[in-house]
Structure 1
Amino acid sequence: DVMRAADAAKLASLQYPTQRGIYRRRLLDALNDGERRDSIARLAEGSPEERARSRWLTAQREQQLVMIAELLDRQLLLSNQSSSRSLQESLMRNSPLSALDHYYRGRLPPLIRKLAKKLAAKHRPRLRSAKRGQPDIRRTLHRSVAYDGVPFKRYWRHRRREKSDIYLLCDLSGSVGRWSQVLLLFVQALAEVLPRSRCFVFCGESIEISDILREHPADEAVALIQQRHGLGSSDYGRALRSFRASVEGTLSRRSTVMILGDGRGNGGDSGIDALRYLYQHSRLLLWLNPEPVSRWYTGDSEIRRYQSACHHVAECGSLRQLEYLLDELLTRLP
């Protein structure tokens, strides 16, 4: 239905981001969205069966809205392949990764390195300052008396700082594998300002791949990880339990745990007890979900249960969202 609506709305003519609203309206009109909304409102006031029908229609409409947004993003990218680099990068940063075709996915690693370099430059001075300490005004002024008040020698208050540990667990299954690859590229590029990071991936059992990221160039490392460990469907129960077994000896109150996945375990064990252990024994547990929020509580998603055992759950479907979340994480590191 959405693809037929795209043809009726002449979506191929979309060229500029400012036209998104116009073509979105055309697509919704082609799908008779006004009549559907009236029907949803009318059924919502009826019998239990009619209310159930209203909820089903609402879920179907939300899925179509997500598809429409991705279609608009994809068409903008296709229409601007020959445009300036800055416009392409802006579109790539703001578009959901699911909207990027093969042409643009091949251009992600250089853009990720560029964004990571910008983040590193922003946070490097703060981390260096933290290592040096804070000025000790009292001692500096006291010693300056011997030099007629000229502070020839400056003193610093040194406070022992505990280094932060970063643990990253990424779902490599087909549904979210490309988002995990992007996050791994970010973490590799940010090695200078992400201290003591350890990276794990899973479809079934979680496997540490920190050595691969350290020993190979970015593109080669991601290809090796996907080739060796990226086959299969998600088993969150097995993954979370094996991840807990790998890190529980080193996990502490200075540890930050990041998990990237859609929380869809195909109806299997959720592993919620292992996740609660990670939550209770870490300073911060952050879950990154690449799915739009409108889909979090549909189908076999366990994200509602996982939210109860995380400090924060955030959508990360685009480069801009992921860049923002990593910026916030680096800002909060001690």
Structure 2
Amino acid sequence: MTDVSERSGVLRRIFASESAAAPGDSHEQVVLCHDRDSGLKAVIAIHSTALGPALGGTRFHPYASEEDAVQDALNLARGMSYKNALAGLDLGGGKAVIIGDPTTVKTEALLRAYGRFVQSLGGRYVTACDVGTYVADMDVIARECDYVTGRSPENGGAGDSSVLTAFGVFQGMLASAQHQWGAPSLAGRRVGVAGIGKVGHYLVDHLVEEGARVVVTDVREEAVDRVRAAHHGVEIEVVADADALIRADLDVYAPCALGGALNELTVPALTATVVCGAANNQLAHLGVEKDLADRGILYAPDYVVNAGGVIQVADEIDGFVFERAKAKAAKIFDTTLEIFARAQADGVPPAVAADRLAERRMADVGRLRSILLPGGRRP
């Protein structure tokens, strides 16, 4: 149980007036969800609806404290606003977290209770899969809720969004190679993938097909075994942990597990000259982006390159067409190159250039809601 001072710290962050300096920079709404009988404890954070309903996945994780869960929801929701803006979607940003170990406490009753809380928001928040939740879970949630994406194809959904998430990260990697080495190719490059779960193992597929030399690590031995079995006859190097991977001789480092992988300890140890991965919130705190730039390491902002999944589930809202969604995700290559070019022109790290571009779109397009439409509606 978090103490009073911890809770007041979270409240200060939610209500702090100084956070409102940039367009859409403060969270619009934070909902605490509790159903004692099913054991549900969840947080839904809506960061911005400037561009439309807030779309973002539901993470199911055994947080060390309730404050950690709220902080994660706030960070992830903000990231979704920027991700959706740069992906060209008419959607805002939100995120939800369910507190608990999904392998032991996840039940039909808990998921359906959660679905009712999402439904109570009337469409301000649209959910999808994230760490600890899967397509089958979205099908259960959808039994109580109209605002669910990432459902199974048999239930009218797009299925596993990890497919296009990995594809988008791969496009970002190719763009990074173009900017850093002059050609959009990873053939012969040594690429380290930290986390080969839902997204990472698809990313390995692209890298192997491209002819990259792949190094992987994962806390779960079965994940490593699955990748090796899928690429029988291909040499895939395995290292003990993320620490060892960071220090390995790499061209590209791809964090694909939980956030915070880039910090004051890991950045100085990096051998890779490109960082491009699927994990959300890779920068542990402000200033890390400058540390990377100072070392000559090209950082492809996570919320730019990992947008393929949200592009996929957003396409589901109007009736999913895989080819259409994949074509949109392929544009991550161009967006990533644009951000690198803007960063170079403005003399700022790519993360700063990406933030500026996202904030400009939220402000420019979001302000159109002030134009009143017939019937008194401001859709």
TM-score exceeds 0.5: no
The structure with more radius of gyration: 1
Of Structure 1 and Structure 2, the greater helix share is in: 1
Q: Normalising to structure 1: TM-score of the pair?
A: 0.36
Normalising by structure 2, what TM-score?
0.33
